[in-house]
Structure 1
Amino acid sequence: MNRNYASSLISYGIVVLFTLGLSSGLKAQNFEKLKDFFTIYPNKKAVERDSTLYLSKFIAAPVVSYSPETNFAFGTGAKFLFKFNGSGEETRVSNMPITLQYTLNSQFFLYSGFEIFTNQEKWVIEGNILFQNYPRLYYGLGTNSPESAEEEYNYYQLLVEPIFLKQAFARYLFIGAGVRYNHIYKTEIEQGGLIDQERLTGFDGSTSLGAEAAVLYDSRNNVLNAQNGWYLEFTRGEYFKALGGTHNFDLTRFDLRHFVKPFDNNDDVLAFQFVGRFTRGGLPFSEFSFLGGSEIMRGYREGRYVDRDLLASQVEYRKTFKNSRWGAVAFAGAGDVYNHVENFQFKNIKPSYGAGLRFMIDKEERLNLRFDAGFGRGSNEFYLSIAEAF
């Protein structure tokens, strides 16, 4: 799922202690002790009696993360990794993160982006829950908005988006539906500024409430850090005033990913992603497409370019080092926003490229702490977070 609503900000773990420990050459056994200090195993006794059960993990710790949109963020976070009783190797690990943070930019947010597999993956339940006060920068609409137009606006947001998908026709194919509620309120803009002059519909707040149909194909071997497989999610949402919203519009999204190991003698991974977001009708300002962030188009601040539609792609090479928790990545991408995707022009495509370091904090789940440096056209940004960008 395309989680543009702050998923790029999610991080958990005792980053400061990890960094200090790494820099001082923390031994492997001491690192495991440090990790276990912040980990609770809810079904540990049951696993001791029945070794076929998955050992669930509830990781709770102080949080330190960084992205250009937030500056440094501090708080508490938790991540629940589990399987339902009766699930074996055929069922992938369910992932429920919860993060509460306050940032140096005077922001706060509470977020959970969950992906739950029932027994034998008969059902997938996924979605987002977000509550935040999130100041954002705005430069105007369109692919040619100037840097000099920068201004800040503030708002509160409550987003709830659960989607229920049932396995159908094939092992990794799921079909389902859900609802999406996106409420923007207590907006603050610069008097006489660009937003005040343009006064786009919904600039002073909006409520989007609609029903979504969804199709998911997910054959990834690991949800947190895939080494092989395909991922394709397509959602189509219809939003109406009759349901309690403030605007009538529709929203179409897709997210296509592929992961492959190019060499047999190591665990390196080549990863591809292609995403699209298309809107039609009288949508409010909050539902426009925002380019940039720490997931795709790294190097651009989220929302540096804004318009109704978006297309973006990226490729990433993930290098691992034998007998080490360390890794490195190199990535490149391209994308742009459009008033209508039919206005696509190659000359306007924005480049994105960069590199990063990885440190594996959980070998069993292949969960990485990541640091990325991204570069775009006339911009560069740095990201500190947990798990891969996609």
Structure 2
Amino acid sequence: MNRHYHIPVYRLLQYSLCVAMLLLCGSCYAQTDSTRSETDVVDIYRKLFRSRSHAAKPNKSTIAFLPAVGYNPSIGFQMGVNFTGGMYLGDKKTTNLSIGALGGYITTKGIVSFQFRHNVFTEGNRWNFQGNWQIAKIVTLDYGVGTGIDQPHDALIIYGIPTNYDSTVFPIQYRYIRFFEKAYKEVAPHFFIGAGASIDMRSNIKDKNLDSTHITPHYTYSTYEGFNTTHYNANGFLLNVQYNTRDQLNRPYHGTYADLGIRVNETFIGSSANAIQLLSEFREYIPLSHRNPSHVLAFWYWGNFLLSGKIPYLELPGTGSDMFNRSGRGYTIGRFKGKSFAYAESEYRFPISQNGFVGGVVFANVQSGTNNLNSGFLEYWEPAAGAGLRFLFNKNTRTNICIDYAVGRFGSNGFFLGLNEAF
């Protein structure tokens, strides 16, 4: 499970030492031959411990893991583990890499989450299955609706009603069950048509700052829109069209990905309200070097637009609402949200060590969401930018360990850890 983690200063020294050791290992074992063979964590382990095993052969599958460790004052210390796996279910020349991610974590304040996500291609790319299953007890840090809000939250107005609270953040605790599954059928080379369903159920919702004298953005929005303030569902059907020419999913060197879909929430399948949303995503990967494909310029756009109906507050699209919760580096998940939301990011990826073990990225992103009465969309943009290091975990599946640092507005900044690229 790839998530954003803000790390306190005392942990930065630990990560700095780890980074220094990894850089040293990468430089010590750099290859100088013309083939520029890559070195990953497994290769370095063998060399450091003088393993007698033969050189690793390209496997059809692999599993990588990364501890999920972090700290946040609202959730306490977080400990867990993330597993990712990759496998080719057919000939590599005609079949994309299938990937899956399984993660779980628990915090000192009783928050628990288990999540499984997958993107599977059958032989010859005839079928593509995408899924996201999760069960969790969550605390989210809410900052209200929209972008471009500079005033303090005691002046924040939702639907003309002031929240009248002197806090800058509104913690919300709830239980969450999600089942999201789509199946795509290839109808022409690189073109797919898909359908599926998304079941999102939230219960035991508790506004930590809500009391008899203060109201919160969640309470005001839910009351105004006619939702129960303690539980609601967003259950709907999905219909998508997709175009995909990426050479690989974990870390593409070239290709295009585009997906356009409609989500229809219906009360007859348990949704708390009817709604129609337009879902869109586009990614482009441009190779910058014929000699070294690790030089890549990448672009990402993600958008979710409410066409009609109503959606619950915690279902509003926003920062980190993409499938792997990787958008919006520089801000916490859910920092900005709206009935309609758009996000764009560009990133330059490049090698650092000669053997390909250490790489780097620089990136910048912007996001915009509707404000109180569905206004202000695309009028206000929230920017962020940063840089990061990449350590090659498995060269056969291009799995990277990613460590990024990003800075946004309103003093927002932090380290963001994960397996595989953000997009």
TM above 0.5: yes
- Residue deviations 1:146-165 (CA, integer Å, cap 9, x gap): 46431211011111111000
- Residue deviations 1:298-354 (CA, integer Å, cap 9, x gap): 1122222221111111110011132241111111121210158874354x2111111
- Cα offset, 1:195, TM superposition: 4.1
2:116 is paired with a residue of what secondary structure?
A: strand
Q: Which has the larger radius of gyration?
A: 2
TM-score (norm 1): 0.83
Q: Which has the higher strand share?
A: 1
* Greater alpha carbon shift after TM alignment, 244-253 vs 62-71: 62-71
* Greater alpha carbon shift after TM alignment, 188-197 vs 221-230: 188-197
Write out aligned runs for 1:1-390 (5 A).
7-8=2-3, 22=22, 25=25, 31-32=41-42, 55-59=60-64, 61=65, 63-66=67-70, 73-84=78-89, 86-104=90-108, 106-145=110-149, 146=152, 148-169=167-188, 171-190=189-208, 191-192=210-211, 193-195=215-217, 198=220, 200=222, 201-266=227-292, 267-279=294-306, 280-291=308-319, 295-321=326-352, 322-339=354-371, 343-346=376-379, 348-378=380-410, 379-390=412-423
* Greater alpha carbon shift after TM alignment, 284-293 vs 125-134: 284-293
**Separation in 1 of the partners of 2:228 and 2:337?**
15
**Separation in 1 of the partners of 2:112 and 2:382?**
30
Q: Is the 8 A contact 2:4 2:416 kept in 1?
A: no
- Residue deviations 1:21-75 (CA, integer Å, cap 9, x gap): 6277487699426879xxxxxxxxxxxxxx9x9632244x562344879776322
The 3 A distance-change label for structure 1 pair 196 and 276 is closer
**Separation in 2 of the partners of 1:93 and 1:30?**
19
Unaligned runs of at least 5 residues, structure 2: 6-13, 30-38, 47-56, 154-166
Q: Is the 8 A contact 1:149 1:194 kept in 2?
A: no
| Number of equivalent positions | 363
Q: Is the 8 A contact 2:3 2:417 kept in 1?
A: no
Amino acid at match of 1:74: M
Amino acid at match of 1:284: P
**Separation in 2 of the partners of 1:174 and 1:287?**
27
The alignment-based identity, stated in percent, is 23
Matched with 2:34 is none
- Residue deviations 1:66-96 (CA, integer Å, cap 9, x gap): 4879776322343332233x53421111111
Q: Is the 8 A contact 1:65 1:384 kept in 2?
A: no
**Separation in 1 of the partners of 2:221 and 2:275?**
18
* Greater alpha carbon shift after TM alignment, 368-377 vs 261-270: 261-270
TM-score (norm 2): 0.77
Amino acid at match of 2:359: G
**Separation in 2 of the partners of 1:236 and 1:229?**
24
Q: Is the 8 A contact 1:9 1:67 kept in 2?
A: no
1:168 is paired with a residue of what secondary structure?
A: strand
**Separation in 2 of the partners of 1:165 and 1:185?**
31
Unaligned runs of at least 5 residues, structure 1: 1-5, 37-50
**Separation in 2 of the partners of 1:233 and 1:202?**
33
Q: Tell me how large the CA RMSD over aligned residues is.
A: 3.1
Q: Is the 8 A contact 2:61 2:88 kept in 1?
A: yes
2:42 is paired with a residue of what secondary structure?
A: helix
Q: Is the 8 A contact 1:180 1:212 kept in 2?
A: yes
- Cα offset, 1:273, TM superposition: 0.7
Q: Is the 8 A contact 1:291 1:305 kept in 2?
A: yes
Q: Is the 8 A contact 1:65 1:385 kept in 2?
A: no
